[in-house]
Amino acid sequence: MKRCIFCGSDSSCSKSVEHIVPESFGNKSAILKKGIVCDKCNNYFARKVEQPFLESEPIRKLRQELQLENKKGKTISEYQYPKIGDNQVRQISDNNFLIYFIEEKTETELETLVQEYQRYLLQSDSLLLEENIYLSRLLAKMALEYFVYKCGQTQEVCDYILEDDAFSSIRNYARYGERKIWLYSVRRIYARDKAYKGDIFSSISWEADFLFTELGEVYFVIAMHGIEYAINLGGPIIEGYNFWLKKNENKSPLYISDEARKEDYKKYLTKTASSKEKKLFYEFDAKGDE
Ligand SMILES: [Zn+2]
C-alpha cells in the first residue's frame, strides 16, 4: 500500500504529482510520483503554504522579473518595475548586466538603466531576505520531498520517513505548522539571474543538496534564484549551520569539493548513533548527484 509521506494515509488512489519546488517558482522537472504526497496534503500545501509565499509582493515582483510561468503558462506583468520586454536588465554575475533594448541607446542611458536596476535589486533583496513563516514551512516540505527524490522515490524511503522519529518534527511542522517559526539560514550567494554554465540566455533557477555536519546534524540547503536557504532536518535551530559556515569561510555547501563533502559525511557518521540511519544515509550518499 502506498502511504503519503506527510500524513501516512493510504495514497494508492491519489492523482496529483507533487512539485518539490513550486512550479510557478521555476521548477518544471523535479516532481514526485503520484501517491508519495496524497491529494489532500498536496492541496493543503498549495493553498496554505505555497500560495501565500508565491503571492507575496516581493515574490510576485521576482516572478515578473524572471518571467516565471505559472501552471497555466502565464507570467505576471502588473508592476511598473522591473520592466519586462524592452529595457529589461538582468544580472548574470556580480558585475555583469545584460540589457535587452530595441532602440539604440547611448552609453549614459545604458548606465542609468543599470543603476536603476541596482537600486531595485537592493530594495528587493532586503525584502527577500526577511524571515517568512510560509517559506520556513515550504523549506521543511521541500527538505523531505527532496530527500525522497534523491533516494529514488522508493517505498522503502517513504516508509522510513514515516516511521523514523528523526523526521517526525519536520514532517509535522511542514504539514501542520507551529506557533513558533523554524529558523532557517538565508543569504545571497550569487546573482539572481546567474548564467547557467556560462550560457547567458539561461539562468540557474534552483539547486539543492544535503549537508551532513560533524555535530551529527543534517541540513537541507537550496539556492533559488541566487539566494541560499538552509533548514535543519532535526529541529528549529540553525546554530550548527552557522558553525559550519564559520569553519568553511562562508562557502556554500552547494559549492564545496567532493573531498570536503565526504570528509563532512564521515564525521557525521561517527557522531550519529543509529545504525539504521547510517545505512540509509550511506545509500543516499552513494547515489550522488543526478
Ligand atoms: Zn497526506
pLDDT at residue 274, rounded to an integer: 58
Backbone angles phi, psi at 166, to 5 degrees: -60, -25
Ion ligand 1: residues, CB within 5 A, are 4, 6-7, 38, 41
Identify the pLDDT of residue 201: 84
Give the contacts of 187 (CB within 8 A, at least 6 positions apart): 129, 227, 228
- Strand segments, DSSP code E, in the chain are 18-19, 31-32, 88-93, 96-100, 185-188, 195-196, 199-203, 206-212, 218-224, 227-232
Cis before 82 (ω within 30): yes
Q: From CA 66, how far away is CA 40, in angstroms rounded?
A: 31
Per-10-residue mean pLDDT, the chain, length 290: 95 95 93 97 97 97 93 93 85 90 92 95 96 97 97 93 92 94 97 89 92 94 97 96 97 96 91 60 47
**Alpha carbon of 30 to ligand 1 centroid (Å):** 19
C-alpha distances (whole Å) from 93 to each of 61, 64, 190 are 20, 20, 7
Between the CA of 37 and the centroid of ligand 1 the distance, in Å, is 6
Report which of 51, 97, 53 is spatially closest to residue 71, judged by C-alpha positions.
51
Give 144 Cα–ligand 1 centroid separation in angstroms: 13
Pairwise CA distance, residues 110 & 117, whole Å: 11
> How far is it, in rounded angstroms, from Cα 45 to Cα 22?
10
Tell me, in angstroms, the distance from the centre of ligand 1 to residue 22's CA: 17
Cα 72 to ligand 1 centroid, rounded to whole Å: 25
- Say how many Å lie between the CA of residue 38 and the centre of ligand 1: 4
pLDDT in the model for residue 94: 87
- Distance from residue 5's CA to the centre of ligand 1 (Å): 7
